[in-house]
Amino acid sequence: MPIGITALGTYVPTRVLTNKELEGMFDTSDEWIVSRTGIRERHLAAEDEFASDMGVRAVNDLSARYPGVLEGVDMVVCATSSPDALFPSTAAIIAGQVGLNGAGALDVLVACSGFMYALSVAQGMVLAKTATKVLVLGAEALSKILDWTDRTTCILFGDGAGAAIVEEVPEGYGFQSFVLGADSTGGPSLYKFAVADHIPGVPVGTGAMLGMNGREVFKFAVRVLGDSGEKAMNKAGLSGSDIDWMVPHQANVRIIESACGRFGVPLEKTVINLDRYGNTSTASVPLALREALDDGRVKDGDQLLLVAFGGGLSWGASAMKWYGGAGRKVAVQEQELVVK
């Protein structure tokens, strides 16, 4: 029984923070940020807008694109690096606000790899018949956990959310492989305290806000993006030439460029939108994929490779055949409406 994504919605807050504006906040330049990262601007949540709010708005977009899509959802899985609270889960808060009270709800906390892990959790639940239709979210209010005086980290991130439906798909579509992993030796390279006010290996007095060793994360990211992507392809019996579109975590264009060489997927077949959103952690893969669907790059039956990495340090990759059937149905309905 193949399982896959059948619907995808997204949301980004309206407020845009440009590199030029950052120049007025601390010693940096548009030229430095673009040349080191590829990022030009990012969207920031309003003061009273949190991960759950953005998740709800991504679900609203999902419902607008695929009317009636929430019917039958019996599980909500939310990946987030910036949850509203330790508990209740952000998933439970979102479920309650989109009319899914009573469905199971859990958060997945694997930093920027979280969306890939959440897709795999959803697939497993459907295969085990624990659930039949899972709403999977990546929702982030990262701007709330950034140190806005740390020019090396705060320039990188942005806010946003994605919402996907994972359920049975027709034969020949859906997830073909997952590769998930973590290496705690890199834990001190990317961190944020929760209950304990220390993390082994992290300098005392840091960690209240997101902390990072950029160079270490860069080296790790280039390695695992290539390695996990290659493993996901091998597991599915594929090679780089089979991939129609790679959708990587949108952290840094230089990381993506370096990794592309490692698994033989050319840059022209890679979806990149980090210039306008920065690194939105768990929301980055759905935001990039939705954009590629909207502009017609990704089509029904395309061979995709999704790859992410993040705190943990962690990684997650999946090969999948895109199922565009649900979207087609909506398009046909719209055409019929126009005809009438």
Ligand X SMILES: CC(C)(COP(=O)(O)OP(=O)(O)OC[C@H]1O[C@@H](n2cnc3c(N)ncnc32)[C@H](O)[C@@H]1OP(=O)(O)O)[C@@H](O)C(=O)NCCC(=O)NCCS
- Residues with a catalytic annotation lie at 112, 249, 279
Closest Cα partner for 276 from 17, 1, 11, 4? 17
Of all residues in this chain, which one has the CB nearest to ligand X in the complex? 214
Residue placing its CB nearer to ligand X in the complex, 162 or 310: 310
Closest Cα partner for 86 from 133, 112, 134, 51? 51
Report the C-alpha gap between 144 and 281 in whole angstroms: 13
For 133-157, b/e burial (b = at least 16 CB within 10 A) is bbbbbbbbbbbbebeeeeeebbbbb
Report the C-alpha gap between 114 and 306 in whole angstroms: 12
Strands 15-18 and 41-44: antiparallel
> From the CB of 303, what's the least distance to ligand X, in Å?
25
DSSP states of 75-119: EEEEE-SS-S-SSS-HHHHHHHHTT-BTBEEEEE--GGGHHHHHH
> From the CB of 311, what's the least distance to ligand X, in Å?
7
Residue placing its CB nearer to ligand X in the complex, 220 or 323: 220
State the Cα angle at 78 between 135 and 156, rounded to 5°.
125
> From the CB of 156, what's the least distance to ligand X, in Å?
6
Residue placing its CB nearer to ligand X in the complex, 82 or 252: 252
Beta strands in 215-313 (DSSP E): 245-248, 303-310
Q: Phi and psi for 305 in degrees, rounded to 5?
A: -130, 115
> From the CB of 12, what's the least distance to ligand X, in Å?
18
Residue placing its CB nearer to ligand X in the complex, 139 or 236: 139
Q: Which residues bind ligand X (CB under 6 A)?
A: 28, 32-33, 36-37, 112, 151-152, 155-156, 212, 214-215, 217-218, 221, 251-252, 279, 310
Residue placing its CB nearer to ligand X in the complex, 27 or 268: 27
> From the CB of 279, what's the least distance to ligand X, in Å?
6
